[in-house]
Amino acid sequence: MRIRFVLSIVLVCLGLVAAILPQTKNSSMELDAQQLLNEIQLENYVISVDEMANALINNDPEYQLIDLRPEADFKAYSLPGSLNIPFDSLFSETWVPYIDQIARKNVFYSNGTTLASEAWMLTKQKGYKNNYILNGGLNNWFATIIEPKEPASTDGEEAFFQYEARLGMKQFFTGAGAVSSSSSKQVKKPVPRKKKKMVAGGCS
């Protein structure tokens, strides 16, 4: 009988200790500072505006744009197909399933990159995957896609191809008439002059 008493008391004591222990939360999925730094240095969390524009034009279902600005700003202007998750409600119950998922690539954007970077850091720290940042945010979107700058005439061919692609994208997103490529000041490849024919005349 004695052993039963001892065992019962030991069990209850263990239970008492368990009951007064504070409930801690361990998250093995969360990254510590060093791991986060490594992730930042890898720099594979940005998506360029050109890539994004291409994806939007092709209706690529892989990407989900997420607008972090307040609702009023979102209503005033937003990228097509984007979802408005105001920064301050990022971790609310409604939105967590959207940012903690494995199906699509979430692309955060705000006016600049500050909000998006902060959101990315926070989600990364939480261990959420598949979140990216739109490089340069809406400002860069306007500067690159909506008002593309003409490359300098000394730029290489690449720059001109890109410019023309951006003009096409601009037309897609704004409906503005694309400027025909003929008006660009691209340096035409010098056409080799035909060799002058020898003066031909006479009866040679």
DSSP run (H or E) holding 166: helix 157-174
Positions touching other proteins (CB under 8 A) are: 4, 8, 11-12, 14-16, 18-29
In the complex with other proteins, which residue's Cβ is closer, 11 or 57?
Answer: 11
In the complex with other proteins, which residue's Cβ is closer, 28 or 182?
Answer: 28
How buried is 106 (Cβ within 10 angstroms: 0-12 exposed, 13-18 middle, 19+ buried)? Answer: buried
**Residue in 120, 141, 17, 27 with CA at minimum distance from that of residue 77:** 141
DSSP, res 118: H
Query: Is-contact 103 131, C-beta < 8 A?
Result: no
Q: Is 168 helix (H, G, I), strand (E, B) or coil?
A: helix
In the complex with other proteins, which residue's Cβ is closer, 12 or 143?
Answer: 12
Query: Is-contact 90 119, C-beta < 8 A?
Result: yes
In the complex with other proteins, which residue's Cβ is closer, 28 or 59?
Answer: 28
Smallest gap from Cβ 91 to other proteins, in A, equals: 14
Smallest gap from Cβ 54 to other proteins, in A, equals: 33
Smallest gap from Cβ 119 to other proteins, in A, equals: 21
Smallest gap from Cβ 122 to other proteins, in A, equals: 17
Smallest gap from Cβ 68 to other proteins, in A, equals: 25
Query: Is-contact 107 64, C-beta < 8 A?
Result: yes
DSSP, res 146: I
Which tokens hold the place of 141?
């979107």
In the complex with other proteins, which residue's Cβ is closer, 14 or 37?
Answer: 14
